[in-house]
C-alpha cells in the first residue's frame, strides 16, 4: 500500500469498523467475516478497521487477531485494512503491530494502554515508542472509554512524527473535536477521522477527512450515499441522509443497550445475522444471554430504520 494513498486527504474516507463474528461454540467465524467484508464491498466500502473496539479487540488472543486481519485482507485484496494493535503496554503494542503488518494490515491503530492512566507527557513517549518500531504507519485512536484521553495538544505533538498519520476520534455525540484537531495539526499530512455516526456530516463540513463507524456494517448504503452527496455538492441531500443516520444512532440510547458491551454489540450483530451476513450473534464473552424483550426492541427498531436505509442509493 502506497503511503501517498493512505495520507491523501481527498476524497473523504468511509471506513467500516468491523464486528467480529463468532460461532455458537465461541470460535472465530472466518466465513462470516468474509461475507461481512463482501457485504460492505458490494455497497461501495473498501476500507476496513479490524480488531477494533467494536471487534472486541481486548477479548481476543493473538491467534484470532491475526486470523481476523488475514481474512479481511483476503476478502478485500485491493482495500485498505486498518488493524487495532492496542494492548497492555508498548512492547505488547509493538509486537501486535509487527504481527498485523505480516498479516496484511496497511495501518496500525493505537489506543492508550488498557487499565492504566498516563499523563500526556507519558502518552507522547508511549505513542512515539510504538510509532518508531511499527513497520506500517500508525493511527491514533481516542476513545472516552479509555483511562487516558488524547488531548488536542498531544495530538499536535504526535502528528509531527513521520510514522503517525491519523486520528480516529470518538468523543461522544455532543463534542466534535474535528476543528480543534485540524487547527492544531495544520500544515502536516495528518488525517482526522470521526468515530461517532451522529457527527459524520458536521465533521466533513469542518474539513475532516472521513469517518470510522460501526453502523456502516448494518447500513453501508446510507453512509455511502451521504459521502457521495457531500462530494457532489448536494448539501440538502447530505443533510437529509445525516438525519437518517441520527435516527439510526439513537438505538444506542435505548433502554438496556448500555448495560454491557455485549448488549451494544447485539444492536449490530442481530441485524447482520437476520440478513444472513453472519451466522450467529455470539461474541467473545461466553455465556451471554439477552432477554426476548431486548431482542424484540432491536428488531422493531431496525425494521423501522433499516428499511429506508437499505433502499438508499448513492446519488
Catalytic (active-site) positions = 141, 168
Give the cell for residue 164.
Answer: 503517525
Query: Helices (H), strands (E): how many in the chain?
Result: 12, 8
The span from the CA of 83 to the CA of 96, in Å, is 9
Smallest CA-to-CA distance from 91 within 134, 152, 28 is with 134
Question: DSSP readout, 178-211?
Answer: HHHHHHHTTTS--EEEE--GGGHHHHHHTT--EE
Measured in Å, how far apart are the chain's first and last C-alpha atoms? 29
The span from the CA of 6 to the CA of 187, in Å, is 17
Amino acid at each position: 500500500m502506497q503511503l501517498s494513498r493512505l495520507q491523501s486527504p481527498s476524497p473523504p474516507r468511509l471506513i467500516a469498523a468491523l464486528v467480529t463474528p463468532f460461532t455458537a461454540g465461541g470460535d472465530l467465524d472466518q466465513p462470516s467475516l468474509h461475507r461481512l467484508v463482501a457485504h460492505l464491498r458490494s455497497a461501495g466500502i473498501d476500507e476496513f478497521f479490524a480488531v477494533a473496539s467494536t471487534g472486541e479487540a481486548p477479548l481476543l488472543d493473538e491467534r484470532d487477531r491475526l486470523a481476523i486481519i488475514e481474512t479481511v485482507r483476503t476478502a478485500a485484496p485491493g482495500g485498505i485494512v486498518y488493524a487495532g494493535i492496542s494492548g497492555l503496554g508498548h512492547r505488547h503494542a509493538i509486537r501486535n503491530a509487527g504481527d498485523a503488518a505480516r498479516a496484511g494490515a496497511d495501518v496500525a491503530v493505537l489506543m492508550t494502554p488498557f487499565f492504566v492512566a498516563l499523563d500526556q507527557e507519558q502518552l507522547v513517549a508511549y505513542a512515539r515508542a510504538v510509532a518508531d518500531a511499527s513497520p506500517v504507519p500508525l493511527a491514533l485512536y481516542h476513545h472516552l472509554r479509555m483511562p487516558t484521553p488524547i488531548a488536542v495538544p498531544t495530538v499536535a505533538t504526535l502528528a509531527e512524527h513521520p510514522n503517525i498519520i491519523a486520528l480516529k476520534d470518538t468523543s461522544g455525540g455532543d463534542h466534535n473535536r474535528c476543528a480543534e484537531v485540524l487547527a492544531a495539526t495544520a500544515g502536516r499530512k495528518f488525517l482526522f477521522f470521526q468515530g461517532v455516526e451522529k457527527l459524520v456530516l458536521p465533521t466533513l463540513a469542518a474539513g475532516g477527512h472521513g469517518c470510522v463507524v460501526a453502523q456502516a456494517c448494518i447500513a453501508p448504503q446510507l453512509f455511502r450515499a451521504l459521502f457521495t452527496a457531500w462530494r457532489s455538492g448536494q448539501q440538502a441531500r447530505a443533510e437529509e441522509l445525516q438525519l437518517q443516520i441520527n435516527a439510526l444512532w439513537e438505538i444506542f440510547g435505548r433502554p438496556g443497550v448500555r448495560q454491557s458491551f455485549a448488549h451494544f454489540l447485539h444492536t449490530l450483530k442481530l441485524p447482520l445475522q437476520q440478513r444472513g451476513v453472519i451466522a450467529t450473534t455470539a461474541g467473545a464473552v461466553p455465556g451471554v444471554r439477552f432477554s426476548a424483550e431486548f431482542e424484540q426492541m432491536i428488531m422493531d427498531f431496525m425494521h423501522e430504520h433499516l428499511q429506508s436505509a437499505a433502499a438508499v442509493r448513492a446519488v
